[in-house]
Structure 1
């Protein structure tokens, strides 16, 4: 039966969420909120041993000197032992930094980001640089300082979006007027004549009157002028050289990194190695490796190794690994050494693969202020650093048992399948050991020193150049993971949110049912983990908070998107087109039964089993439930039985228990319950 919507299914103002969010704990809604901001910059306040300290300076790439300004005590501590002194009030943070709700807000946030980006890496106190940038941008110095503070506090593009007051009215112009404005921008404003914005407005008004159209308001024209990317505007009005000098890049040029995390190159490769499954140690094929390298130091900043083909999801996992500290991973893998790399890079260089050009990656990188540059077609030398790193890894791989070598001629009569011995977890541990214990410590011919030494110089400085200091940490790793998951924009219907024929519903989305935005139904950003599609993450655009929304039918099992696609193909091969949700899940169960009945293990089946194990390791776990009792509900296809064997007071209308003369809440005796559970 379709679910009823609130407010008769319509609310042209959009949902007012604060009221129903007060009941999150009672309803079992799991939200993903912004975490408190922690900074390693000098003069930043941090919490250590239940006391507030001030950071004095970086001592090593992983430690800082801190001072208790009250007592004068100093100490050198690892940054992993520091916390934010005062967790921010989430509601206040959201109100002061709403997420862009429309293209105009997003364009304005991007414009502000382009203005402040050259200033973010400058030491604090460089007022003259801020004043010059403010004058160039035509804004006050106080406004520019405020934008810089907003971004440093939040670390995301959405913090720079203009704060709307009152109801946001849709801005719609006649298509003919829009065409005139765009033509004036292209033909009149973006020229070496460098006409002012006022002149452009006058020209739009003149052309509209000539065409018999009502000229738009001057502010509407100004918004479209501001939406032009500053780099593009400068290149067309004053030349590519000046654009390159100011913004550090133009299309077709891949500059060297000027400091750590200035430029990161990323790419995939299919490793020349046959892996075996963990259970039977039989061959399952070759894994894919995604690597990211810091151009300045040649340090490996992140990796992702998987049996799945390259995708935007895999790229996101590699980047998330690059953004976050590595100590916990080294401890888990039992590897001694240091990998002092974390933080958000300024630019990413990648090839033209669709996984690097996906809307998911573009939007996620924009949110964190990362520029993506794609190498020109048929110019592999533009990705030289990552290509050389891939070649270095390949040479090491060729020495392992089970290698396929670079080509059949090199392999000769070597039987790769028969010699294969390594599982996916084992090659992962081998790779990290090679990166940390060998590659980072070995002299790199391109920079004349080991990558880790070059990284230290960039962070701490040397006798010739001042270091940039420790990178800013990511305050909320879980939110980061969600922000890099694949997304779609979906409306909320009476039966919830539907993605790939799978319906999702939770009380948290009830106020959004059939909500309108202007003349159309409002769409919401919905993200999903491909390794487990049993829930989605819906972004509340007003609160800037993700909420987990589970299957509408909680009896359905958790599966990956690859298992879902396989079930669709299973039905399609049998002539069943356009199968619904129930048919697809039933097909998946039938496929599992067929696999269990098969006696001979094939390489494909062994590979699929290892993929499932790997997916379970990288799946984003559910957020902790506000009410632990709600976690008793199962959605993996099994029955959850809760039995209360106490003897409460007799209730009217209940029958006698078969186990005695007293009245019980149910009519199973202990033997029945035990036998039944064993049979199930």
Structure 2
């Protein structure tokens, strides 16, 4: 359904401060606009258009985080029940009747949930409506722990205990612990909220789960249009990069990639020196769903990358970073399905593996390449030959993706990925185009949804996370707020690249507001800086007692590491990682950019480079290494895929 901002014919948009109407899509990245009088028309890139209701739709958007825990659990339970009904091609009355009988829900109730969900396709719309100011009841953490342990030990096991046995065991353990026993319906609600696939897997085994839920090898039902299926994975690039300041080697970077199965277009990426995790997955997905024209312009990349919008399904391996509850809940909230391939079956992710193999082969041609194996590397000295920093590698990588890969014939589809994408958007004689994808109405909120969160009470001193305090006058109205007989907790999020501020979910505004350090004179640090300081203090035989100790140790540690930077690669890598995080804060900022203070212009002393080829050609090497033969085909052959693409 429409989110209030569409590129379909007849939609109203804002162009140069004037309301205009879209006549039709001209290409996969531009539309024909009716300026207003029906006579004057103009072709405009969609990246330049703005929504008429951005602020209004963002304010009216119901927050996943604003829900009470029991309301969120109920929304998830309802969504799990209707998910097969709202995601099938055809839904019959018999399907609804069977679902109603299986879950013990009246058929009229199911139809009401389906209608409510299909209005905006947001999971939060399924949450119960709360009237009045009655506070929701909650179980104590001890009772919740007992319920979870009984479900894990008795219900989700080969013992296959039924619901009545689980309820009796929960009540027995509560009596033994002198705790109030929960009602039977509360326990049954926890059982109904269990993922059906996990239930079959834990109770009946892998084969039964695969037979019931597994995908057919090499087949992706529904991958017949752009963004229908997107695969995502991490790969460690075979190249040694340099520190930007000292030009000394600091290690190999990680690349997180997402690819559209239909067109083989790269949907999004994330390049970092840090090990991959849920945060890298979130940044890659955000990058894939948002428009990329501004990034290409900033980095001077020629070409177009007309990929944006929400994918229908994300496909990944079984890594814990992809199975993170943060990632899964956010995808559910944005109506994006996710599917995991079985362990030890890399051919299930053949498309993303092919792309990783393609990029790995191209990286081997760069100075400082480490190659895939020591045998391939031979006597080539990767660290001595390294010339590229992470800042150099990023535009080189984007030139390879946008300028070369997207425009070269792909053997898997018989045409360039960009041409296939345009065909899928605009349509051809063989299949109907889907039209331009709807843009994300609130990019800031999308990025916030992928940030780590925690619940905290508001004290007179502010909010504490770890040992760092945050405070703002806005918090005064929530100091020691009560919720029944206990202190009310509020959800806050924090960007790991910059923990100098929190994002506090204000219940009255139903939106996140920025809360800075209590001591605004503290330096901005990352979460990795914070953990490094704690580890450094521990090695010194000290404890991180409070905030002052943390920041004092931070200053001491950086003073010492600055003196040893030329001697230790690990220290150089950490410093480069900090600079990289600073760039990410500027590139992926959650807040509007602030204008820089006026200052007299100073001439730049650095020499500009004319094109990315200067980054990859080493004309000073007396004995150039023998490059590995590079195939002109951006694909693996069938034999490699059958072997499971183990080389990559």
TM exceeds 0.5? yes
Is residue 256–residue 269 contact of structure 2 (8 Å, CA) maintained in 1? yes
Offset at residue 512 of structure 1 (A): 2.9
Offset at residue 75 of structure 1 (A): 4.3
Q: Which residue of 1 aligns with 2:117?
A: 147
Please, which moves more after superposition, 284-293 or 587-596? 587-596
CA 1:433/1:625 → structure 2, altered by over 3 Å: closer, same or farther?
closer
Greater relative contact order (Cα < 8 A, sep 6+): 1
Counterpart-to-counterpart distance in 1, 2:512 and 2:555: 31
Counterpart-to-counterpart distance in 1, 2:290 and 2:384: 38
Please, which moves more after superposition, 576-585 or 548-557? 576-585
Instruction: Say if 2:481 is the partner of 1:515.
Output: yes
Matches within 5 A, 1:24-63: 37-63=4-30
Is residue 115–residue 133 contact of structure 1 (8 Å, CA) maintained in 2? no
1:77 to 11, 36, 44: 44
5+ residue gaps, structure 2: 101-106, 172-179, 598-648
Please, which moves more after superposition, 412-421 or 363-372? 363-372
Determine helix, strand or coil for the equivalent of 1:400: coil
Q: Which residue of 1 aligns with 2:302?
A: 336
Offset at residue 568 of structure 1 (A): 1.2
Counterpart-to-counterpart distance in 2, 1:522 and 1:358: 26
Q: Which residue of 1 aligns with 2:633?
A: none
Q: Which residue of 2 aligns with 1:525?
A: 491
Offset at residue 514 of structure 1 (A): 3.2
Is residue 58–residue 441 contact of structure 2 (8 Å, CA) maintained in 1? no
Is residue 292–residue 302 contact of structure 1 (8 Å, CA) maintained in 2? yes
CA 1:570/1:162 → structure 2, altered by over 3 Å: closer, same or farther?
same
Instruction: Say if 2:294 is the partner of 1:324.
Output: no
5+ residue gaps, structure 1: 1-35, 123-127, 192-199, 209-213, 632-680
Q: Which residue of 2 aligns with 1:101?
A: 68
1:385 to 347, 351, 367: 351
Instruction: Say if 2:271 is the partner of 1:301.
Output: no
Number of aligned pairs? 570
CA 1:398/1:64 → structure 2, altered by over 3 Å: closer, same or farther?
same
CA 1:97/1:406 → structure 2, altered by over 3 Å: closer, same or farther?
closer
Is residue 11–residue 22 contact of structure 2 (8 Å, CA) maintained in 1? yes
Q: Which residue of 1 aligns with 2:244?
A: 278
Q: Which residue of 2 aligns with 1:642?
A: none
Counterpart-to-counterpart distance in 2, 1:329 and 1:467: 27
2:363 to 374, 394, 397: 397
Is residue 91–residue 543 contact of structure 1 (8 Å, CA) maintained in 2? no
Q: Which residue of 1 aligns with 2:549?
A: 583
CA 1:376/1:563 → structure 2, altered by over 3 Å: closer, same or farther?
same
Offset at residue 225 of structure 1 (A): 8.2
Counterpart-to-counterpart distance in 2, 1:177 and 1:609: 45
Counterpart-to-counterpart distance in 1, 2:427 and 2:113: 32
Counterpart-to-counterpart distance in 2, 1:599 and 1:300: 37
Instruction: Say if 2:448 is the partner of 1:501.
Output: no
Counterpart-to-counterpart distance in 2, 1:71 and 1:554: 54
Structure number, greater radius of gyration = 1
Is residue 97–residue 159 contact of structure 1 (8 Å, CA) maintained in 2? no
Counterpart-to-counterpart distance in 2, 1:470 and 1:139: 35
Offset at residue 227 of structure 1 (A): 4.3
Counterpart-to-counterpart distance in 1, 2:548 and 2:511: 31
1:616 to 567, 579, 582: 582
Offset at residue 462 of structure 1 (A): 1.8
Deviation per CA, 1:427-483, whole angstroms, max 9, x where unpaired? 111110010111111122222222112212222222132122222211122222222
Offset at residue 131 of structure 1 (A): 8.2
Counterpart-to-counterpart distance in 1, 2:294 and 2:117: 34
Counterpart-to-counterpart distance in 2, 1:331 and 1:434: 16
Determine helix, strand or coil for the equivalent of 2:262: coil
Deviation per CA, 1:533-561, whole angstroms, max 9, x where unpaired? 11111223554311111112222211111
1:64 to 15, 19, 31: 31
CA 1:388/1:51 → structure 2, altered by over 3 Å: closer, same or farther?
same
Please, which moves more after superposition, 576-585 or 469-478? 576-585
Offset at residue 354 of structure 1 (A): 2.6
Q: Which residue of 2 aligns with 1:604?
A: 570
Matches within 5 A, 1:118-517: 138-139=107-108, 144-151=114-121, 156-166=122-132, 167-170=134-137, 227=193, 250=214, 255-256=219-220, 257-517=223-483
Counterpart-to-counterpart distance in 1, 2:589 and 2:144: 47
CA 1:222/1:47 → structure 2, altered by over 3 Å: closer, same or farther?
farther
Deviation per CA, 1:301-356, whole angstroms, max 9, x where unpaired? 11111111112212211111111111111111111111111111222222232322
Counterpart-to-counterpart distance in 2, 1:84 and 1:407: 51
Q: Which residue of 1 aligns with 2:630?
A: none
Is residue 266–residue 348 contact of structure 1 (8 Å, CA) maintained in 2? yes
Is residue 25–residue 435 contact of structure 2 (8 Å, CA) maintained in 1? yes
Counterpart-to-counterpart distance in 2, 1:405 and 1:432: 20
Offset at residue 147 of structure 1 (A): 3.2
Counterpart-to-counterpart distance in 1, 2:525 and 2:312: 36
